Chain A
Amino acid sequence: AQSVTQLDSQVPVFEEAPVELRCNYSSSVSVYLFWYVQYPNQGLQLLLKYLSGSTLVESINGFEAEFNKSQTSFHLRKPSVHISDTAEYFCAVSDSGGSNYKLTFGKGTLLTVNP
């Protein structure tokens, strides 16, 4: 079984500031890692994912995350945030085997971008 810890429940930042949302996981098997974003009263949207290969993955809107196997982390970063990035961000993990459809989510980090 896997588990995900998102260390910060809320992260307030000012517009154009950099941000890092932290995610650590535990698993006894190889994993796939995901970041999802949830805007108010909406469903989750996949932001980016790590399956294999390069440990640095990027999204189309400027976010990036780096898989660090030794530290069991998958932190999400953006060098300069916008007001529109205000949302809740969920880190998720699945095993890389036959039940990889079963996502395990963290409790989420509410990112609030202030003007």
Chain B
Amino acid sequence: NAGVMQNPRHLVRRRGQEARLRCSPMKGHSHVYWYRQLPEEGLKFMVYLQKENIIDESGMPKERFSAEFPKEGPSILRIQQVVRGDSAAYFCASSPGFGVGQPQHFGDGTRLSIL
């Protein structure tokens, strides 16, 4: 009965390093969504993935950010050459299928801090 698992819970990186954030969806869920929460802001949609496919990446910054959801293993959000402005909480959600009748279940988030 595990929920959406995100790791690490906290991640500290220096400017220019790479950050990898992992998300294991709930059992039986094949749809994954990533959101970013900047300080004192609401969550912003970044990307929607199904197994091995990116469905909608309209919320992803054009550079340095990428996401994948391989056939085996967790979904990965990768940020290359991090900058101070990348400091935020990154949340992953999953659902068993497509559509609002399939509510999104959220993980506890990864707090990314850039030194």
Contact = CB atoms under 8 A, between A and B. Distances in A.
Q: Do A and B come from one complex?
A: yes
Interface residues of B toward A: which range? 20 to 34
B105 to A, nearest CB: 8
A32 interface: yes
Given A4-B42, A51-B100, A107-B42, A99 B108 contact: no
A103 B45 contact: yes
Secondary structure dominating the interface of B: loop
A24 interface: no
Contacts of B31: 101
B106 A43 contact: yes
Given A49-B103, A101-B104, A108 B42 contact: yes
A100 interface: yes
A75 B103 CA distance: 20
A43 B108 contact: yes
A103 B43 contact: yes
A112 interface: no
